[in-house]
Structure 1
Amino acid sequence: MRAIRFDESGKAQVVDIPKPLAGRGEVVVQVTSTGVCGSDLAALRGTHPFRVPPLISGHEAGGRIAEIGPGVDGLALGDRVVIDPQRSCGECALCTGGRYHLCASKQMLGIAEWDGSFAEFTAVPASTVIPAPDGVADEHLALAEPIAVAAHAVAQLGDRERTRSLVLGGGTIGALVARVVRDSGAEVLDVIEPRSHVHPMLESLGATGVHTPDAELESHSYDAVFVAAGVPALLERAFAAVAPGGAIVQVAVFGKPVPVPVGELQVREIALLGTAMYTKTDFTTALDVLDRHPGLADAIVSRTTSLEEGAEITTRMAADGPGDIVKLVMVP
C-alpha cells in the first residue's frame, strides 16, 4: 500500500509498504481522510519528543472498516468510523477509571512502533474506533480528532461560567475551541489572531470579535480564557484578561517552562486548568459538532489533496511554516 514516510533528512515521501493485518482485538481501517497537524510537522523537523523519524506519521483519521480481527464484536466491514488514536494499557487505575488518556504507558498512533494514518490503511485496536454519523462526509472524518481536542478543553471548565470567553490564538485548535465554547454558552467570544486572512473564518465559526495582538481588550473581564497558541507571552495576557474567579485553560503546548504568577492566581482565585488529549466522550461531541455545523469543515480546511501532493506540502510546511494553510487534509 501507499504511505508517507518521514525520514531523518526532514523530507516526507510516498513509499510502498505492506498493508497491515488485523490482529486479535484489532481492525484495519481504510483511511478516507487524514489531517496534518503541528505535531506531524515537529516530527518531520526532528523536534517532537516521541515522534522520531523514520516513521509513518498521522493520527487524525477516519475511514471504513476493511478487516476485522479475531475477538472483535459489534463492528462490520464497511462501517464508517473515526479513530481515537490512543493505545493505553487498559489495566492501570487511570484506564479502569475511564481516564485512559492520562495512562503513563499510552502510545499514540503515528510513532515508529505504531504506523500512523498517512497511508491507505491503518491497524488499530477495535476499542479505539467510534461510529461516524451519516451526515459527516468521508473526507471530513479526520476533523473529529482536532475538534475532540477542543471539546476536551472546553469540558475542563465543567460548570464554570463562560458567558464572556477569550481565545488566544486562532489556528486550527483555537478556531475549533471558539466553535465549541460558543456552542456551550459563550455570548461574547473574542479571538486574538495575528493572521488577518483567517479572521473571516474565525467569524464564521462563531467569534463575535476577532482582533490582532495589538488590540486593547478590557482587562479582568473574561470568565474563561483559552491559551491556544504556544507563545509563552500569551499566558501573561491570559492573566491580564481573566476576571476574578475566572478560569484559564492551557491548550497549547509550550516547548519550555513558563513562569506562572502564583500570587495573582491565589488573590483573584483564578483556576488554571490543563487539558491533555481527549476521551471517547469528546469524540462524540466532535462528531455532533461536525454534524450540526456542515459548513465547519469547508471553513477550517484550506487544502484537500492526495498523499503524493500532501507529502510535498507537508515537507514545505515543516521547513518554511504553514503559510496560508490552516488545515491540510489528505485523502489516500
Structure 2
Amino acid sequence: MSKSSCEPRLHVLPGLTPTSDARVEALSDSGWVAGASWEDGIPYSAVVWSDPERVVDTGVGGVAVADGVAISASAIDVNESGTVAINRWKSTPRLSISHEEALVWSQQDGATVLPTSRYRPRASVTAINDEGDVLGHVRGRGHGSVPVIWTDGERLRLPVPRHDKAYGTDINNDGLIVGSYWGRYGTAGSWTWDGGPKLMPLRPTDTTAVTAATDVDDSGLIIGGQHVGPGDAIRTILWRNPAASPVRLMRIRTVDLHNSGYLAAVEPGFRGYGATAYIGHRRDGGIKARLPQPSVPDGSLGWSNVYAAAVARGASPFAPGGGVTVGGFAQDFDSMTSQAVLWTCSQTWLNP
C-alpha cells in the first residue's frame, strides 16, 4: 500500500442539539454515517450524518412517553444507498427493555417496521447489505431468539436446529451470512449460511477454542474472535473462505472489516474502562495502529473509553481526499459525555 496524499484528521460530529451526546455505529463508502444521539434525560434517537456539520433525525426513537416510559432507537448499520437498519426499544421503570422492534429507514421512504410473528413479536437487527437484505433476530416470551433475514420485507427464518441457539452477525452482498451458535450439549462455535438447508459450521482454531464469526466481506473472507487470557482479551482470527481452517491474527477485537482488508478494532480495556480504538489491516498476520483521542471535555480527567465501530474507504463529504475512515465514539463516565468521532485518512496512522 502506497502512502496517501490525504491528511489524517479527527472529526467530532454534532449531536441533535449543541449539548447532545452522540455515537457512530456504521459507515458506508458512499459517505453515509449512522448512529444515535441523546441528551441527559431524553431517550436515544437514531440519526444519520450527511456532512461534518449536519445531523439528520430519522424520527425513530427519542420519545419520553409518561411515568418513566421511554422509546429509544439507534442505527445499527447502513448500506451504500443510505438505507439504515435501526433497533427501537421501549423501557419502563420496572424493565430496562420491555419491547423491541426492527426497522429500516431511508430519506425517500422514511421508517418501516419489519414484520415479526405472533409467538416471536420482538425483533432486532444486526446488519444490512447493499441489496437491502436485513439480518436480525426475533424472540418472544417462552420462545428463544432465532436469526432471520428480511428480503423485500418478507421474513425468512434461518435453519437453526431445534435445540440449538444461534446468533447472526453479518451478511455480505452475495447473501452469505455468518454468526455463532450454542448447542444443547455445551458445544459452541461459528457458522455460515448461503441459503442452503442447514447452517454450515466453521472450523475452530483447535478442539477446545470457542470462536465467534463477526464479519464477512464480499469475497467470502470471514473475520472473528477467540477469547484468550484473562478478562476481555480477544484475538482476531480469519477464515479465508467458509471451508478454510482459521488463521490467528493480532491480539485485538476486530469490530468491522472492509473489502480492502482494512479493519476497525478495539482493545477492550478492563472491567468497562480503558477501551482504545485502532485501525488495522489483515496483511502480514495483522497490523494495527492506535487512533488519537479527541480533546477531553470540561470536568473530565480523561476519556473512560474510546471505541471504533466501523470502517469505510473512499472520498466523501467527511473525507474529500479519500482514504480510510474509521467511525466510533469517545465515552467519559465522569462528565457523562459521549462524542461521535470520525478518523479520516486513518491509514496514515497505520503507515506513517
- What TM-score does the superposition give when structure 1 sets the normalisation length? 0.29
From the two aligned structures, give the one with the greater helix fraction. Answer: 1
More strand by share: 2
Name which structure has the greater RCO, CA cutoff 8 Å, separation 6+.
1
